[in-house]
Amino acid sequence: MLQVALLALGLGIPSPAAAQANHAKSLAPFVPSPQNIVEHMLDAAALKPGETVFDLGCGDGRILITAARKYRAKAVGVELSPKLAQMARDTVQRNGLKDSVTVIEGNLLDVDLSGADVVTLYLLTESNSRLRPNLEKYLKPGARVVSHDFEIRGWKPARVEEVQAHRRAHKIYVYEVGK
Ligand SMILES: C[S@@+](CC[C@H](N)C(=O)[O-])C[C@H]1O[C@@H](n2cnc3c(N)ncnc32)[C@H](O)[C@@H]1O
């Protein structure tokens, strides 16, 4: 087992132990938001040029890329999966967005969110409940949190919008901090 782990480390592949530890920390599987939902989320957040958006669980980085390209925003993604984090970094590089986008490989529950004007989420309701203390600790008044399909229990949304994609209605919960 140790040999397998050492070999995996050498190849940059997560060892079975690391993969198991990541599995335990997982707050949601990778299910990408459709592109029209991504744009609807950023519009709903009224993301402005120069603002910073954090996508917590950024997957392949599509929200980051859209925020930087279409909205001229800064974007920070946090992703637990090394493979997805690398995929997001590669896309950032290919699109020449290295100055606007940062991808952090790690647990979104460990990240300081004080730099965020907007936070985007596509996790699960239970996961949002685990994240909520951090949102309350770090986010400044005026920050917006936009969650795809899953509410933040105990918070009152400013709006809930419905958008069609992939033949179903998706919910977009929009929260405004300090309101
Ligand atoms: C439903 S996908 C959303 C991807 C992207 N935000 C989007 O909307 O297209 C959830 C993502 O969260 C990541 N994730 C799950 N638990 C995490 C954790 N504890 N820290 C960081 N990322 C996590 C998953 O690997 C997955 O890529």
Residue range 61-88, pLDDT digits in tens: 999 999 999 999 999 999 999 999 999 9
Sign of CA dihedral 9, 108, 165, 60: negative
CA distance 54 to 104: 10
CA distance 34 to 43: 14
39, 163 contact by CB (below 8 A): no
CA distance 40 to 63: 11
Around Cβ 121, how many Cβ atoms within 10 Å? 27
pLDDT value of residue 13: 61
CATH number of 29-176: 3.40.50.150
Q: Helix, strand, coil shares of the chain as percentages rounded to 5?
A: 40, 25, 40
118, 52 contact by CB (below 8 A): yes
pLDDT value of residue 11: 46
In short, whether 22's Cβ falls inside 6 Å of ligand 1 is no
98, 74 contact by CB (below 8 A): no
pTM confidence score: 0.92
pLDDT tens digit at each of 179 positions of the chain:
434 444 444 445 667 777 778 888 999 999 999 999 999 999 999 999 999 999 999 999 999 999 999 999 999 999 999 999 999 999 999 999 999 999 999 999 999 999 999 999 999 999 999 999 999 999 999 999 999 999 999 999 999 999 999 999 999 999 999 96
Quote the tokens at residue 40: 């609807």
In short, whether 84's Cβ falls inside 6 Å of ligand 1 is yes
Q: How far is the CA of 146 from the centre of ligand 1 (A)?
A: 14
Q: How far is the CA of 59 from the centre of ligand 1 (A)?
A: 5
DSSP letter for 54, please: E
Q: How far is the CA of 178 from the centre of ligand 1 (A)?
A: 26
59, 84 contact by CB (below 8 A): yes
